[in-house]
């Protein structure tokens, strides 16, 4: 064992050696500068080395973008020469309305009818909440009715498509399922939030009754505390009224409910943050982006995505690994381009357009998911409305009941997986589990990406995130399209 004096001497030698090394470096630099050979070299790292701390790669980013643009334009020309011009805006209106040419002269638009029917369960939710608030319905009966109404919303498209599936187009059914899923999430949030407010309202009322009963046998300390609490509550209530805040049950109106139904959020609040005015220039920009973006996405689907999928059926039927990989990589480019366009169109252009029209002030619809260093960060930042809903209405209620965070996270991923499967299997009218399995793979993939981030650095974690996005989505799409084609169409040769 070393004595205290030896440890002190050791630390002194270490400190002295560092100072001596610095002195030698500076002395060598001065001596080198005095040499007659005019030295031009000094200790430094290559720019591509991590130790160089060089970060300005703007030129390489521009080069990559230009190269991708040239490659994309070449693919566009190849597609145009092979398949011709397939973009037909008239068909967009047909498929969006759900019109089926098989019906002939008896034109029906079932998708439009179902979208209009959304008003019925929405108003029914308000009537049930009002019935509970005024005492017509008991708490248990009201909750049972709300759950039945919410389950009816999510199952209605399944039932209708089972009996009338041939009357719908694929885009029409997809739109219906997407809207009804949003309605399901919104009604869940509306009912649960009003349940929280109702319990808090009843709790305050019961406290006031207990205070009045205690006056017959006063406990002066408890009475003073009760009076203080009542004063604080009254001050909060007066401040809320002065600020124009709505209190439960005054929020149970059609105007408030339909504002929430149209607002770009899935989480209900009695008092949303509001903007003072509508920015006309900002509104016009978002409106133009929605119009141009919608045409761009639909055009890419018609011209690029559908032909690529159709030509891949025969390859997947043969189960040739090399050809399947080639088709997967070929489909990855248009699929990823459409996904990026859809992200910007939906989460930036459309939601900001709604927010501006409705004076909705919270415009934080997405985070910087493109910089995510692992899968978990990506899923918590790319779709913030759904993430907030999952945290507020699923994750926190589960953890507050004493369950672990792992259990709560697993439940959230299971619900998300079911939602993804719902949006694919119901419109296709065939039950497969590829989307469900794709979502359930995300937790172990998050562990792998986090391991890569900690072991090899954040850049490798980000590469895994981008790889899962670029390759995972087209793989699932090709599997669904292959199964759908085997059921409905004859296998086509490339």
> Would you say residue 13 lies in a domain?
no
pLDDT score of 476: 81
Q: Which of 41, 195, 359, 420 is catalytic?
A: 420
Note the pLDDT tens digit of each residue in 124-147: 999 999 999 888 888 899 999 999
> Would you say residue 238 lies in a domain?
yes
Q: Which residues are within 8 A (CB) of 266 and not within 5 positions of it... i.e. 6 or more apart?
A: 182, 185, 186, 189, 385, 386, 388, 389
- Residue 274's DSSP bridge partners are 360
> Would you say residue 186 lies in a domain?
yes
pLDDT score of 18: 44
User: Where does 84-118 have alpha helices with state H?
Assistant: 89-97, 110-116
User: Where does 84-213 have alpha helices with state H?
Assistant: 89-97, 110-116, 119-134, 139-164, 170-213
Instruction: Give the residue among 482, 435, 104, 59 at the shortest CA–CA distance from 310.
Output: 482
Instruction: Give the residue among 306, 305, 296, 301 at the shortest CA–CA distance from 349.
Output: 296
DSSP label at 251? Answer: T
pLDDT score of 21: 46
pLDDT score of 125: 94
Instruction: Domain count for the chain, please give it.
Output: 1
pLDDT score of 336: 84
Give CA–CA dist 136/141, Å, rounded.
Answer: 10
Q: Which residues are within 8 A (CB) of 137 and not within 5 positions of it... i.e. 6 or more apart?
A: 128, 131, 145
Give CA–CA dist 454/447, Å, rounded.
Answer: 11
DSSP label at 494? Answer: -
Decide if 195 is catalytic. Answer: no
> Would you say residue 139 lies in a domain?
yes
pLDDT score of 315: 65
pLDDT score of 216: 44
**CA Rg, the chain, in Å?**
31
With a cut of 70, list the residues of the chain below it in pLDDT. Answer: 1-25, 50, 79, 83-84, 86-108, 203-244, 312-320, 485-494
Q: Which domain holds residue 142?
A: 109-215+222-272
> Would you say residue 81 lies in a domain?
no
> Would you say residue 250 lies in a domain?
yes
Give CA–CA dist 176/95, Å, rounded.
Answer: 12
Instruction: Give the residue among 126, 271, 119, 270 at the shortest CA–CA distance from 191.
Output: 126
pLDDT score of 494: 42
For CA atoms 225, 227, 229, 235, the dihedral sign is negative
Give CA–CA dist 396/16, Å, rounded.
Answer: 56
> Would you say residue 208 lies in a domain?
yes
> Would you say residue 340 lies in a domain?
no
In the chain, what is the greatest distance between 2 CA atoms, to the nearest angstrom?
104
Structure-token pair, residue 82: 């092979």
Note the pLDDT tens digit of each residue in 200-224: 877 665 555 544 444 444 554 554 5
Give CA–CA dist 344/174, Å, rounded.
Answer: 19
Assign 3-state DSSP to the chain and report helix, strand, coil percentages, each to 5: 75, 0, 25
Give CA–CA dist 386/415, Å, rounded.
Answer: 11
Structure-token pair, residue 203: 């709790």
């Amino acid at each position: 064992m070393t004595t205290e004096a030896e440890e002190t001497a050791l630390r002194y030698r270490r400190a002295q050696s560092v100072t001596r090394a610095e002195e030698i470096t500076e002395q060598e630099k001065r001596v080198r500068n005095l040499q007659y050979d005019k030295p031009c070299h000094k200790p430094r790292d290559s720019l591509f080395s991590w130790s160089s701390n060089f970060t300005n790669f703007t030129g390489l980013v521009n080069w990559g973008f230009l190269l991708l643009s040239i490659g994309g334009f070449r693919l566009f020309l190849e597609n145009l020469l092979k398949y011709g011009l397939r973009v037909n805006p008239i068909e967009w209106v047909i498929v969006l309305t759900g019109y089926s040419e098989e019906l002939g002269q008896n034109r029906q638009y079932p998708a439009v009818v179902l979208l209009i029917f959304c008003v019925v369960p929405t108003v029914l939710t308000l009537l049930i909440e009002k019935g509970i608030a005024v005492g017509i319905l008991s708490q248990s009966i009201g909750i049972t009715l709300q759950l039945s109404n919410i389950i009816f919303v999510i199952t209605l498209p399944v039932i209708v498509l089972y009996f009338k599936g041939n009357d719908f187009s694929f885009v029409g059914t997809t739109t219906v399922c997407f809207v009804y899923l949003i309605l399901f999430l919104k009604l869940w949030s509306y009912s649960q939030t009003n349940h929280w407010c109702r319990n808090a309202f009843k709790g305050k009322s019961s406290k006031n009754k207990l205070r009045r009963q205690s006056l017959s046998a006063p406990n002066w300390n408890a009475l003073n505390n009760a009076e203080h609490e009542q004063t604080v509550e009254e001050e909060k209530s007066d401040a809320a009224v002065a600020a124009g805040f709505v209190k439960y049950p005054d929020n149970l109106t059609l105007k408030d409910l339909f504002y929430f139904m149209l607002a770009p959020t899935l989480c209900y609040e009695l008092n949303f943050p509001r903007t003072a005015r509508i920015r006309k220039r900002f509104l016009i920009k978002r409106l133009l982006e929605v119009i141009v973006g919608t045409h761009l996405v639909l055009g890419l689907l018609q011209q690029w995505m559908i032909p690529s999928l159709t030509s891949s059926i025969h390859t997947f039927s043969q189960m040739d690994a090399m050809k399947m990989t080639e088709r997967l990589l070929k489909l990855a480019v248009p699929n990823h381009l459409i996904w990026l366009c859809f992200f910007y169109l939906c989460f930036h252009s459309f939601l900001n357009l709604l927010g501006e029209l409705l004076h909705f002030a919270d415009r934080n619809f997405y985070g910087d998911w493109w910089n995510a260093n692992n899968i978990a960060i990506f899923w918590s930042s790319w779709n913030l409305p759904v993430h907030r809903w999952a945290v507020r209405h699923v994750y926190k209620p589960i953890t507050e009941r004493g369950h672990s965070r792992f259990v709560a996270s697993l439940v959230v991923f299971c619900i998300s997986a079911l939602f993804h499967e719902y949006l694919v299997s119901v419109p296709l009218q065939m039950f497969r589990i590829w989307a469900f399995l794709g979502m359930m793979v995300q937790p172990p993939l998050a562990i792998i990406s986090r391991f890569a981030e900690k072991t090899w650095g954040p850049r490798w974690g980000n590469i895994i995130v981008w790889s899962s996005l670029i390759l995972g989505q087209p793989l699932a799409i090709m599997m669904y399209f292959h199964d759908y084609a085997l059921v409905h169409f004859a296998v086509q040769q490339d």
